[in-house]
Amino acid sequence: MPAILRVGLSVPDTEAEGPGRRFAIWVQGCPLRCKGCCNPELFAFSGGIERATDDLAAEIANTPGIEGVSFLGGEPFSHVGAVLDVARRVRAGGLSIMIFTGFTLAELRARRRADIDELIALTDLLVDGRYRRDLPETRRRWIGSSNQIMHFLTDRYSATDPQFYRRNTVEIRLSRDGLLVNGWPGAADALATTLTTCTDDRMAGRPAAALRMNSTAHRPGPHATKGR
C-alpha cells in the first residue's frame, strides 16, 4: 500500500522556493506554531489533500526541466515517512532535495530515528530552525530569520554561490482554479492584497464565479511562502 502525504499546496515548477527550477511541496500540518508564521493555514494536520506518494513521485518525475524538489511547510519532518518515500525516488531520479524545517538539525539528530536520519542523508540543503519574527533575515535569499542555518549537506550546492544572496522573488500563476502567488512572503502578501482589491473592483456585480487567491510561502521561517 502506498504511503500518503498530506499536501497543503504544490507548485510543479518554481524559481522562488530554492535554487534553480524546483517542484515545491508544502506539507499540511506543523506542530511548532512560530509567532508570525506566514502559513498558519498549514498548522492543522487535517487540511490539504491526501496524495499517494507513488503518484506524487511520478508527477515529479514527469515534470520537465526541474533540478530538484523543495519540501516546505507545514513541517516536513512531522510527515517523515511519506516525505522520505518521495525523497528516495527523487534522489534515485537524480534530482536534488531541499528541506525547510522548523526543527534544528541537532534536534532532529537527537531523536535517533532511522527514518529521520535517512531523510537527512538524502537532503542536499537543509534550512533549519524556528521562524523568529524579531530576527528578520536581510542578506540571504529564501531565509526567513537570521537564526536559521543553511546546512549544505552534500557538495551539490555551495554557500559561496551568489544565487543564495540575490533578491527574493515572487511568482504569479493564473489558472482555471484561481490565482496563485508564491515566493517571498512579504512581497507575495502585498501583491496578493493588491490583486484581490483589483479583482473585487472588477468583479463587482458579476457572478461569484471567480478568482481564488492563494498566497503561499512558507519556509520554515522562511520556510515557505508564507511561513518563512
CB 131 within 8 A of CB 145: yes
Q: Provide, rounded to whole angstroms, the least separation between the CB of residue 177 and ligand SF4.
A: 23
Which one, 32 or 90, has the nearer CB to ligand SF4? 32
Which one, 9 or 30, has the nearer CB to ligand SF4? 30
Which one, 91 or 221, has the nearer CB to ligand SF4? 221
Q: Which residue is nearest to ligand SF4 (CB)?
A: 102
Burial letters 126-143, b for 16+ CB under 10 A, else e: bbbbbbbeeeebeebbbb
Q: Provide, rounded to whole angstroms, the least separation between the CB of residue 49 and ligand SF4.
A: 18
Residue the block writes with cell 530552525: 129
Which one, 69 or 72, has the nearer CB to ligand SF4? 72
Q: Provide, rounded to whole angstroms, the least separation between the CB of residue 73 and ligand SF4.
A: 4
Q: How far apart are CA 117 and CA 162, in angstroms?
A: 29
Count Cα atoms within 13 angstroms, Cβ side, for 44: 5
Contacting residues toward ligand SF4, per CB under 6 A: 30, 32-34, 37, 39, 42, 73-75, 102, 130-131, 218, 220-221, 223, 227
Q: Provide, rounded to whole angstroms, the least separation between the CB of residue 219 and ligand SF4.
A: 7
| Nearest of 101, 147, 148, 142 to residue 123 by alpha carbon | 101
Q: Interhelix angle for 80-92 vs 114-122, to 10°?
A: 40
- C-alpha angle 163-107-2 in degrees, rounded to nearest 5: 80
Q: Provide, rounded to whole angstroms, the least separation between the CB of residue 103 and ligand SF4.
A: 8
Q: Provide, rounded to whole angstroms, the least separation between the CB of residue 22 and ligand SF4.
A: 18
Q: What's the sign of the alpha-carbon dihedral 216, 217, 218, 222?
A: negative
Which one, 19 or 222, has the nearer CB to ligand SF4? 222
Which one, 14 or 39, has the nearer CB to ligand SF4? 39
SS3 79: helix
Q: How far apart are CA 213 and CA 216, in angstroms?
A: 10
Which one, 19 or 73, has the nearer CB to ligand SF4? 73
Residue the block writes with cell 518525475: 61
Q: Provide, rounded to whole angstroms, the least separation between the CB of residue 222 and ligand SF4.
A: 8
